[in-house]
């Protein structure tokens, strides 16, 4: 049973657009939302401190980094429910929790300019990874086990021309590094008649310094009871790439040339819930 549903929910401050599809035991859905405000939007409510907070205050409470990316889409969330017992989701808040609040030496070259442009971040005198680099691989619920595997994603299957039942490319956050490049996390999903496939991509380009990508691919073949998850971290110094910055604008143009730092494929297996 495959059915695409569309909902327009006007939730007050956030106009959320959601779409979903039923695919075998899966209920796959995404929400599209507004950008995270840069200040508290409901001071009276948030100051009561009784567990009701606006999105901005939730981010301030949950994250240790003193500054958030220019554009965070707090409710841009992709969710894959497996029956009623397990769930895989992709959420900007969880991804930002994995940003280090220490800065690495390699990136210091334009950190001064960045901090000058953001007096509030500088004032907090807290160094952190202002590139918002994250090794987030998605959020797994209970009743899921991650196992090592020798199996790899069959990319030939992905190349077959088939009808696309469901597709979306969702931006979780993006920052232009004060015109020094780009830092972006996005997730794309496509559901085909016999499988679903997704790519979560963190892409960083610090102009004339370095290019980095952390990509998580997930693949599920219909009528199997597991998902393959392949994580690939890549990074190269700009000087080692021998290509002009103008050719590094699009992630797809430069990622194939980056040096692989880490690559691991795992199997996501669903357990029967404990009743
Ligand atoms: Zn607030």
Distance 49 CA to ligand 1 centre (A): 10
The β-bridge partners of 179 are none
Strand 86-90 with 139-140, pairing: antiparallel
In angstroms, what is the span from residue 42 Cα to ligand 1's centroid? 5
Domain range summary for the chain, segments of one domain joined by +: 3-270
Q: How far is the CA of 54 from the centre of ligand 1 (A)?
A: 4
Question: How far, in Å, from the CA of 129 to the mean position of ligand 1?
Answer: 24
124: pLDDT confidence band, cut at 50, 70 and 90?
A: very low
Residue 119 pLDDT grade (very low, low, confident, very high; cuts 50, 70, 90): low
Yes or no: say if 217 and 190 are a contact pair by the CB < 8 Å rule. Answer: no
Q: Is 47 helix (H, G, I), strand (E, B) or coil?
A: helix
Alpha helices in 147-258 (DSSP H): 155-159, 238-241, 251-254
Q: What is the pLDDT of residue 117?
A: 63
- In this structure, of 113-117, 125-129, 151-155, 182-186, the range with the lowest mean pLDDT score is 113-117
Helix (H, G, I), strand (E, B) or coil at 119: helix
pLDDT for the residue numbered 28: 97
């Amino acid at each position: 049973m495959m059915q695409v549903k569309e909902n327009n929910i006007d939730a007050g401050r956030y106009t959320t657009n959601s779409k979903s599809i039923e695919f075998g035991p899966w209920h796959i859905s995404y929400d599209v939302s507004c950008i995270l405000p840069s200040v508290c939007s409901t001071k009276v409510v948030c100051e009561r401190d009784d567990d009701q907070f606006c999105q901005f205050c939730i981010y301030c409470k949950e994250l240790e980094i003193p500054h958030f990316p220019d554009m965070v889409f707090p409710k841009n969330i992709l969710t894959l429910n497996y029956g009623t017992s397990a769930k895989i989701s992709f959420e900007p808040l969880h991804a930002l929790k994995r940003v280090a609040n220490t800065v690495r030496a390699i990136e210091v070259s334009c950190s001064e300019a960045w901090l000058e442009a953001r007096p509030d971040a500088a004032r907090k005198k807290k160094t952190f990874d202002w590139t918002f680099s994250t090794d987030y691989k998605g959020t797994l619920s209970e009743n899921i086990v991650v196992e090592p595997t020798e199996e790899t994603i069959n990319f030939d299957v992905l190349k077959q021309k088939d009808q696309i039942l469901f597709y979306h490319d969702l931006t979780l956050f993006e920052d232009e590094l004060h015109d020094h490049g780009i830092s972006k996390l996005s997730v794309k999903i496509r559901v085909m008649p016999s499988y679903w496939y997704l790519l979560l991509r963190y892409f960083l380009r610090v102009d004339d310094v370095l290019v980095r990508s952390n990509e998580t691919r997930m693949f599920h073949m219909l009528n199997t009871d597991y998902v393959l998850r392949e994580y690939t971290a890549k990074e190269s110094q700009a000087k080692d790439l021998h290509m002009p910055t103008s050719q590094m604008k699009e992630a797809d143009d430069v990622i194939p040339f980056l040096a692989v730092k880490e690559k691991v494929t795992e199997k996501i297996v669903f357990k029967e819930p404990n009743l």
